[in-house]
């Protein structure tokens, strides 16, 4: 399929999507249609630009042809939040000196994609998927500041976010001790000590073994040991003083 045909097909698809968008009444459907509209518009712009470049090359005029840019991924960012917005800060030196249209952000209900075009001969891209909570796509935006891009994600509901993404939330929850509401408090200590023993180094294991042995000796003398008596539930000693889990 030649370039002219591709452009014509994209224009037809875009017109049809815009028609569906005008008649749609469902917010989720509108969001999906707007995403497709933005995708088609970007592709159409690229094809038209490519056609212009081909025409210039054919006529021998290459003075306006931009230098070839390669793409780099943005991995570093900071974030905070207000009552209504989650704010993501991306530092990019000189970003305020390029045309504003070179900084594009595409939002979905649970993600966003940032593309900064032709900054120092490179395209810079960043994708954040699986945001912790839904955002309002229409009310989200981006601002270009000195050496920085600020992405403003409007919260769909007024709620404090513990993390930026669901992946970070799961990681945090995994590291928390699992205590049931009516569980014996000593069970939480047992769980924590077992985790420390399993994941710790040799020095950590020796320390836990020593504490366990001392608790057993004091219990044998009737002294007791606050917080360590429950360690008897860990079982006997095995091998070189190891704990039997």
Element (H, E) at 44: helix 27-59
| pTM (two decimals) | 0.48
Mean pLDDT of 146-174: 92
Query: What's residue 17's pLDDT?
Result: 84
pLDDT of res. 66? 47
Counting residues of the chain whose pLDDT is more than 70, the rounded percentage is 78
Look at residue 134 and tell me whether its pLDDT is greater than 50.
yes
Domain 66-173 adopts which CATH fold?
Immunoglobulin-like (2.60.40)
**pLDDT greater at residue 227 or residue 1:** 1
User: CA-to-CA distance for 127 and 73, rounded, in angstroms?
Assistant: 9
Report residue 149 as tokens: 């891009």
> Measuring CA to CA, how many Å separate 168 from each of 127, 180, 194, 209?
15, 23, 24, 33
Q: Is the pLDDT of residue 235 over 50?
A: no
Burial class (CB in 10 A: 0-12, 13-18, 19+), 235: exposed
Phi then psi dihedrals of residue 150, to 5 deg: -110, 120
Convert the pLDDT of each residue in 40-86 to its tens digit: 887 878 777 777 777 766 766 544 444 467 899 999 999 999 999 99
Domain ranges in the chain are 1-63, 66-173, 185-243
CA atoms 75, 77, 83, 85: torsion sign: negative
- Sign of CA pseudo-dihedral 46, 49, 55, 58: negative
pLDDT band at residue 113 under the 50/70/90 scheme: very high
């Amino acid at each position: 399929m030649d370039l002219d045909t591709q452009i014509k097909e994209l224009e037809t698809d875009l017109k049809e999507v815009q028609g569906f968008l005008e008649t749609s009444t469902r917010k989720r459907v509108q969001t999906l249609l707007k995403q497709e509209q933005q995708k088609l518009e970007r592709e159409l712009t690229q094809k038209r630009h490519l056609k212009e470049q081909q025409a210039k090359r054919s006529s021998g005029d290459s003075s306006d042809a931009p230098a070839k840019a390669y793409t780099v991924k943005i991995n570093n960012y900071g974030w905070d939040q207000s009552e209504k917005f989650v704010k993501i800060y991306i530092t990019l030196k000189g970003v305020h000196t390029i045309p504003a249209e070179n900084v594009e952000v595409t939002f979905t209900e649970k993600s966003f994609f940032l593309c900064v075009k032709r900054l120092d001969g490179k395209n810079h891209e960043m994708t954040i998927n699986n945001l912790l909570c839904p955002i309002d796509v229409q009310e989200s935006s981006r601002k270009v500041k000195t050496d920085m891009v600020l992405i403003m994600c409007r919260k769909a509901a007024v709620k404090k976010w513990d993390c930026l993404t669901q992946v970070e939330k799961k990681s945090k929850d995994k590291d928390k001790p699992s205590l049931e509401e009516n569980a014996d408090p000593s069970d939480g200590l047992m769980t924590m000590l077992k985790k420390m023993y399993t994941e710790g180094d040799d020095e950590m294991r020796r320390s836990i073994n020593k504490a366990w042995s001392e608790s057993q000796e004091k219990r044998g003398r009737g002294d007791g040991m606050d917080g360590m008596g429950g360690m008897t539930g860990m079982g006997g000693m095995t091998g070189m003083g190891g704990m039997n889990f």
